[in-house]
Amino acid sequence: MRRSVFTGVLLLALGFGIAELGAGTRNFTASAQQKAETAEVKIDNFSFGPAELTVSAGTTVTWINRDDIPHTVVSTDKVFKSKVLDTDEKFSFTFSKAGTYPYFCSIHPKMTGKIIVQ
Amino acid sequence: MAGREKDEIIHDHNGDGIDRRGFLKCMAWAGTGAFCVIKGGVLNSYSLSRISEVSTADMMGELSFVQISDSHMGFNKPANPDVAGTLKAAVEKINGLSAAPEFLLHTGDISHLSKPEQFDTVEQILKDAKPKEVFYVPGEHDVLNDDGKQFLERYGKASKGAGWYSFDKKGVHFIGLVNVLNLKAGGLGTLGHEQLEWMEDDVKHLKHSTPIVVFAHIPLWSVYPEWGWGTEDSAQALAYLKKFGSVTVLNGHIHQTMQKVEGNVTFHTAASTAFPQPQPGKADSPGPMKVPAEQLKSVLGITDVNYIQGKHALAVVDSSLA
């Protein structure tokens, strides 16, 4: 008897979970159409592209290193800091607060970029 | 040059046009390392690629050593898929020198990604070199993720601060500097206050006639600041060396040989044993240059220095691996 109650609760929880997952996906799709929640910065030829990127709060920015030399993504104000990224490696950071976030490559400090969060 | 340009496109295996990766240049900057001979306080550097053109007399001095640089062990991109092989070729070149150098100087970027096995491989390959003593300074690729902690543990046991040190050989004072840490956004290489203070103190009591050899990874002169090829506070370091009659500065980082004389100071950069980089401003960015495999060794090298006591010269010469 206890077992079937437990199973029932489990199924119920699982049901909610699936429902929630479905809702989440719908929300994501809807919001993706209205505003991007993810953005990408490509690292190549010793530069960040785009060097200046404007996103809305909550956006996750992913840097991907397409260069044949390793680079890093380090916030000038110490908000975020990646490990060294070899070719094709990625680093992501979610910007929850509005503001301007300058960053650079700590190996090649002439490489600079900026994320503007609105 | 017109014919050469045609060749350049023929050898562009990736079909990516004449961008920096497909960019090929005359081999004027050839040389992987240098045989340095100090004669009477002045350092002469001979590129190992052209060492056969140097007379035995010119290679003799009070002191000689070889500078190698930028091994980038672990790099495996098309610019050179076999960096271990080209380092081994450099060692063979060193072992074949008629005037045996006393030691090796490695001016940084030993590894490509600061991985322990990359340092291990370089150490293993250099064990086959006749000179058994190797002096290192770190490149920015050797201090990734840990601010140089691993580098210090491996090579910096007798050093100060972040790994700087000095030593004397046959009356020549050598100073190894670290300018690849705490780099600031938009900036160049940095020595920092603590290291500069140490250096001022280090040279204070030396006689003005003492030949000085300074070695560091990033050039201590402004080669091309647009690509970060320079050191913010190097002028301060050089100011401490004004009183000396013979000062030689040896650097790596830019993967090509360059020389410049400024007053009492002679500046040299050594080529890489791994892959060449374009001449300043001659490409979009300073990334690895892809050259045809059969030409690669001619653009990689070692530097050899020889010193003769009593007279007044220090010569750095670069030679390529071919």
Specify the number of domains making up chain A: 2
A70 with B141: Cβ contact below 8 A: yes
- Are A21 and A48 part of one and the same domain? no
B311: domain CATH number is 3.60.21.10
Burial of A56 (0-12, 13-18, 19+ CB in 10 A): middle
Find the distance separating the first CA and the last CA of chain B, reported in whole Å: 22
Q: What is the mean pLDDT of chain B?
A: 83
Search chain A and give the residue with CA nearest B230: A110
Shortest Cα–Cα distance, A14 to chain B (Å): 42
At what angle are helices B83-95 and B116-126 packed, to 10 degrees?
A: 30
Q: How far apart are CA A69 and CA B87, in angstroms?
A: 19
Cβ neighbours for B74, distance < 8 A, ≥ 6 positions apart? B83, B111, B112, B113, B115, B118
- Are A6 and A44 part of one and the same domain? no
Q: Report the half-sphere exposure of B268 (CA within 13 A, side-chain side).
A: 35
- Are A48 and A30 part of one and the same domain? no
Q: Is A87 on the interface with B (CB under 8 A)?
A: yes
- Are A59 and A28 part of one and the same domain? no
- Are A30 and A42 part of one and the same domain? no
Is the pLDDT at B28 greater than 50? The verdict is no
| pLDDT number for residue B46 | 84
Shortest Cα–Cα distance, A97 to chain B (Å): 22
Q: How far apart are CA B307 and CA B314, in angstroms?
A: 6
Number of inter-chain CB pairs under 8 A, A vs B: 60
- Are A58 and A110 part of one and the same domain? yes
Search chain B and give the residue with CA nearest A105: B185
B285 with A110: Cβ contact below 8 A: no
For residue B77, the chain A residues in CB contact (below 8 A) are: 68, 87
Q: How many CB atoms lie within 10 A of CB A36?
A: 13
- Are A30 and A7 part of one and the same domain? yes
Is the pLDDT at B159 greater than 80? The verdict is yes
Specify the number of domains making up chain B: 1
Shortest Cα–Cα distance, A36 to chain B (Å): 28
- Are A111 and A56 part of one and the same domain? yes
| pLDDT number for residue B303 | 63
A110 with B183: Cβ contact below 8 A: no
E-strand stretches of B109-251: 134-136, 165-169, 172-176, 212-215, 247-251
| pLDDT number for residue B48 | 80
Average pLDDT estimate for A3-19: 48
- Model confidence pLDDT, tens digit, residues A33-78: 455 599 999 999 999 999 999 999 999 999 999 999 999 999 999 9
A52: domain CATH number is 2.60.40.420
Q: Which helix (H) or strand (E) holds B143?
A: none
Whether B321 contacts B93, CB under 8 Å: yes
- Are A62 and A98 part of one and the same domain? yes
- Are A1 and A27 part of one and the same domain? yes
| B4 part of a folded domain | no
| B50 part of a folded domain | yes
Task: Determine the Cα angle at B61 with ends B59 and B63, to 5°.
Answer: 110
Residue of A47, A87, A89, A106 to mutate for B, most B C-beta atoms under 10 A: A106
- Are A90 and A73 part of one and the same domain? yes
**pTM to 2 decimal places:** 0.80
Domain that holds residue B88: 29-318
Average pLDDT estimate for A79-95: 97
- Are A74 and A88 part of one and the same domain? yes
B113 with A86: Cβ contact below 8 A: yes
| pLDDT number for residue B101 | 94
* ipTM exceeding 0.85, yes/no: no
- Model confidence pLDDT, tens digit, residues A25-36: 444 444 444 555
Shortest Cα–Cα distance, A107 to chain B (Å): 6
Q: How confident is the model at residue B153 (pLDDT cuts 50, 70, 90)?
A: very high
- Model confidence pLDDT, tens digit, residues B180-200: 999 999 999 999 999 999 999
Shortest Cα–Cα distance, B77 to chain A (Å): 7
Q: How confident is the model at residue B308 (pLDDT cuts 50, 70, 90)?
A: very low
Search chain B and give the residue with CA nearest A107: B140
Q: How far apart are CA B46 and CA B37, in angstroms?
A: 8
In the 8-state DSSP scheme, what is residue A24?
Answer: H
- Nearest to residue A68, comparing CAs of A86, A50, A49, A93? A86
Q: How confident is the model at residue B319 (pLDDT cuts 50, 70, 90)?
A: low
Q: Which residues of B touch A (CB under 8 A)?
A: 19-21, 77-79, 112-114, 140-141, 144-145, 183-188, 226-228, 284-288
In the block, tokens 């976030």 appear at: A101
Domain that holds residue A21: 1-34
- Nearest to residue B148, comparing CAs of B110, B175, B184? B110
| pLDDT number for residue B276 | 86
